[in-house]
Amino acid sequence: MKLSTEINSISRIVGEEKAIEYLAKAGFNAWDFSMFSMGKMQDGELVQHPLNTSSYSYFAKKLRMISDDNGVKCNQSHAPFPVVSPTVKSFLKRAIECTAIAGGEICVIHPANDWGVTQNRDFYLELLPFAKEHGVKIATENMWNYNTSDWTIIDAACSNEKSFVEHLQAVNDDYFVACLDIGHAEILSLNTSAVKMIKAIGQKLQALHIHDIDLVHDNHQIPFSLKIDFIPIIKALKEINYFGYFTLEADNYLRAFNEENAYQGVKDLYYSVKKIEDLFNKEQL
């Protein structure tokens, strides 16, 4: 398998260009193009970033060049969210375009948490022709909501295996695939599991967001640091002959790091996902 990680957490410390250099040096094969800054708002204003200016394509090309120079590739991307925001929605086609420029094959675009299958289907069908033009698949992801009365985590679009499969079947297109967020699937209050999700989705599962949680909160921590049991999850991935990348989304781990020790944090992330790869490759778990 090939190993990848999101670059948002590294970029917050050293910027996107250095983030790619660091992950390549640490041993990763690829990177997940985090595009959250594209639609980031603060005090009602769009926070300026190259991705939301006229130089967005140049920025994506520059990252592609740095990636090529360092012997890694962009395997997938993550579009900004929430998609119900008019500002965010206006940037989704740009996110797909930037994915293609950077060399990515999949763009993860969240469903709208509170929409039903039909409304989300129509939302994705509107984007698919543009995605096909650029040779980029759209991946939906399993989500969750907060119960605002007590801040517990409750169901949302694709939050259980039934809803996830219904969304995939409703769109029913080879360019529409699944990104399983393993941490989201393991939140106990959602009454599902990563194993159930994997077996239900099967070959439609073409991307992963790997991180660890305490089974209650969406912690996004480094694998093997909290309570997820990765062994049955790895077994399930082997059973369906998963062929995609192992992509980390442990973006909270590096919050404890700074510019001086960020590279060590990136190496920690690499060793954690390398352990998953090694387990996947074992004949017997």
Mean pLDDT, residues 260-275:
98
**Whether residue 106 has pLDDT greater than 80:** yes
Q: Using 50, 70 and 90 to split pLDDT, how confident is the model at 83?
A: very high
The pLDDT value recorded for residue 45 is 87
The pLDDT value recorded for residue 283 is 76
**Whether residue 183 has pLDDT greater than 90:** yes
The pLDDT value recorded for residue 215 is 98
d(CA 258, CA 237): 34
Q: Using 50, 70 and 90 to split pLDDT, how confident is the model at 149?
A: confident
| pLDDT tens sequence across 17-54 | 999 999 999 999 999 999 999 998 888 889 999 999 99
Q: Which amino acid is at 37?
A: S
**Whether residue 285 has pLDDT greater than 80:** no
3-281 CATH, one of 3.20.20.150, 3.40.50.1000, 3.40.1370.10, 3.90.1150.10: 3.20.20.150
**Whether residue 198 has pLDDT greater than 90:** yes
